[in-house]
Amino acid sequence: MGLLEDCMRANQEVAGTFGERPQLDKHPAKQLVVLTCMDCRIYVKEILGLKVGDAHILRNAGGIVTDDVIRSLILSYRFLGTREIFVINHTGCGLLGLYDDQLRKELAMETGKDTVGLEFFGFRDLESNVKRQVQKIRESPFIPQDIAVHGLIYDVKTGNLRKVIE
């Protein structure tokens, strides 16, 4: 049996008891948005002590503030009441030390396609990257200044969070 079948079976088990669960509001209970990396070692809810329904969780490679992240942040605060943002990067990130130009060249060679528009947002320093992502949010003309934005680093080996910027 394949992975899809396993997941579909697990879904049927959950769906069978779904009506017994309390109905959650679409507004995050803690008025929080968390932007972090897609890395599977980051247990977002667990490391922050959150439950389902407490926060919006946005994930992408590197926990990078892209136009799509800004779009999600706008929708989250305007329509769903969020008032605080955590940007969490982590140790051992695959984008740490990644050179965008090199990856674009490799992809162009492998595929024969133009890679000029592709951005991977590789970075050289973890703490500087966190600060840069927080700054992008704070400088966005679409995110109100009274929304708190915090930058943190998660250590994947110890489970500890460290504040970088508040």
Q: Which domains does the chain have, with CATH numbers?
A: 28-165 (3.40.1050.10)
H or E stretch covering 46: helix 44-48
Residue 52 pLDDT: 92
- Residue 150: the pLDDT is 98
- Position 27 scores a pLDDT of 97
pTM over 0.85: yes
pLDDT value, residue 26? 94
Residues of the chain with pLDDT under 70: 1
Q: What distances in angstroms separate CA 43 from CA 40, 104, 126, 147, 161, one per listed residue?
A: 7, 31, 19, 24, 12
Task: Give the three-class secondary structure for 39.
Answer: coil
What pLDDT is stored for residue 81 in this prediction?
97
Q: What is the pLDDT of residue 100?
A: 95
pLDDT at residue 20, rounded to an integer: 81
DSSP codes of every residue in 131-147: HHHHHHHHH-TTS-TTS
pLDDT given at position 163: 97
> What pLDDT was estimated at residue 166?
77
The pLDDT of residue 125: 96
pLDDT at position 111 is: 97
